[in-house]
Amino acid sequence: MRILALEPWHGGSHGRFLNGLIANVDADFRVLSLPARAWKWRMRLAAPWFADQIRARGWKAGDFDLIFATSLFDLPTFVGMAPASFAALPRILYWHENQLAYPVREDHERDRHFGVTNLLSALAADLNLFNSNYNLESLVGGAAEFLSKAPDSTLSPVGPRIAAKSAVLPVPIDDDAFDALAKRPPGPPIVVWNHRWEHDKGPDAFFEAVLALADEELPFRITVLGQRFRNAPSIFSRAEAQLGDRIEHWGPLPDRSGYLRCLGRASVVVSTARHEFQGLAMLEATAAGARPLAPRRLAYPEFLPDDCLYDDAEFTARLRDALNRPWTRHDLALEALESLRWGQLGPRFRASLEGNLVKSESRDDR
């Protein structure tokens, strides 16, 4: 099986997923990728850039059995701009996220063009693989409302057409996360935040609860990881100043090994996200031994036991309880993640790729 892999955002979980796919699926991959920055530009221009690269390298459609791309990609533009023979290749699109369900800040207006790109790419694919049912349903279920804003729209229902050629196959958890499970250090429990430093991850709710528990003099320490951006929410600097000597570690780490060591020392991992299409940061920390505490919404109920989930109104109380009993019921959460190892999911990815070679939707029926 010869696969042309197109990744316009090769970094973070996207990059690790593609690397894991190459390592765990017995196939011949040729990869075109771009670094993980400026996502809007990537979504607009990766397709023509990849098409140019194919010509420059002299690659032919006969060199490949299928095209595998991911969700920050304009698939119809690529099909239109690549050498014409590439249009006949089966096309699989893997969905890490979708722009219909991606939250925007209150002071920002949604750019609907990116949602349109997602829908057209889903229609142009022969198979859509989603990392969670939440991701699938938010795209398929949100299509009608999204397109209702278009003037004089006469499109036939898009959602059912996408659903008919879609399946859920989560991003696997790398074995090194499970291997990070370590003996807890002596002293107070450590709560870890390991998400992007952006508003959609809900840092205000997290730090409001943490600071309230600090005011109660509850014994705990805190580790803050994740990707930091130039214009990070101001709550991070305020919380750092107020938490003082409770801080175990604060800020991104330069390599994955150091990141996993921090996860392996953590007692509790928390999410207050406003959106999450799978929640790999939470799942990795859970695999490394932390007790998870996540919202009872988004993708989390698909992957974590119910007693690891909270309703927003009870968050502070649940965090207090988790810090008082950090390892309670963790075995159940860890057991739930065993099915997400590459050893279990790798064969399913291969079967999906191979199956699409022999059974793909007729292009004439789209």
Dihedrals φ, ψ of 70, to 5°? Answer: -120, 175
Which pairing describes strands 2-10 and 66-70: parallel, antiparallel, or unpaired?
parallel
Mean of pLDDT values over 221-240: 94
Residue 267 has pLDDT above 70, yes or no: yes
Check residue 73 and give its pLDDT.
Answer: 98
Rounded distance between C-alpha atoms, residue 179 and residue 195, angstroms: 20
Rounded distance between C-alpha atoms, residue 295 and residue 277, angstroms: 13
Global pTM exceeds 0.85:
yes
pLDDT in tens, 340-364: 999 999 999 999 999 876 545 445 5
3-class secondary-structure state, position 277 = coil
Check residue 109 and give its pLDDT.
Answer: 55
Helices assigned H by DSSP within the chain = 12-24, 39-57, 75-81, 112-124, 133-147, 158-163, 175-179, 203-215, 235-243, 256-265, 280-287, 300-303, 315-324, 330-337, 342-358
Check residue 361 and give its pLDDT.
Answer: 47
Rounded distance between C-alpha atoms, residue 70 and residue 342, angstroms: 19
pLDDT band at 107 (very low <50, low <70, confident <90, very high): very low
3-class secondary-structure state, position 153 = coil
pLDDT in tens, 49-94: 999 999 999 999 999 999 999 999 999 999 999 999 999 999 999 9
Rounded distance between C-alpha atoms, residue 49 and residue 45, angstroms: 6
pLDDT band at 95 (very low <50, low <70, confident <90, very high): very high
Mean of pLDDT values over 226-243: 94
Closest CA to 252 of 284, 230, 268: 230
Residue 102 has pLDDT above 90, yes or no: no
Rounded distance between C-alpha atoms, residue 262 and residue 112, angstroms: 39
Type of residue numbered 274: R
The two counts, helices (H) then strands (E), for the chain are 15, 12
Rounded distance between C-alpha atoms, residue 50 and residue 6, angstroms: 8
Q: Which domains does the chain have, with CATH numbers?
A: 2-172+342-365 (3.40.50.2000), 175-340 (3.40.50.2000)
Contact 203, 196 (CB under 8 A): no
Check residue 301 and give its pLDDT.
Answer: 97
pLDDT in tens, 3-44: 999 999 999 899 999 999 999 999 999 999 999 999 999 999
pLDDT in tens, 160-209: 999 999 999 999 999 999 999 777 778 999 999 999 999 999 999 999 99
Enumerate the β-bridge partners of residue 149: none
Check residue 159 and give its pLDDT.
Answer: 95
Check residue 356 and give its pLDDT.
Answer: 74
